[in-house]
Amino acid sequence: MSSESAAIGATRSRGVIAVILLGSAAAALAPAIVARTQRVQTMRAELQGVLAQCRERYAGARTAADTARADTWYPSTRRERQPADPACVAYRKHDMLR
C-alpha cells in the first residue's frame, strides 16, 4: 500500500469517527432540547391564561377599591399555587397586561 492510499484511508477513518461522534452527540442532546421546548410551551400557555384572568379582574374594576382587590388576587392555574406565584399586581407593575 502506498503512502498516498494510507493517508486517504486515515482521512476517511477520521471523517467516519467525526460523523459518529457528532451523531452520538446530537442523539444525546435531542431529548433534552425537545423536553425543554415542551416545558417552554407549557409555561407560555399558563402565563397567557394567568394574564387573561388578571386582565378580566382589572377590566371589571370600577373603583380604587376594586383595583386594590384585583391587585391582591392570585390567578389560578392548572397546578396548585406555589409560594413564588405572584398576585396580579406584579403583572400590572411590569406592564404585562396590555
pLDDT tens for residues 3-47?
666 667 667 888 889 999 999 998 888 888 888 888 888 888 888
- Kindly report the length of the chain: 98
Alpha carbons 42 and 44: distance in angstroms, whole number = 5
Show me where the domains of the chain are located. Answer: 3-93
- HSE value, Cβ hemisphere, 13 Å, CA-based, for 66: 10
Residue type, 26: A
**Whether this model's pTM surpasses 0.75:** no
Helix residue ranges per DSSP H, 1-98: 3-59, 64-72, 88-93
Alpha carbons 18 and 11: distance in angstroms, whole number = 10
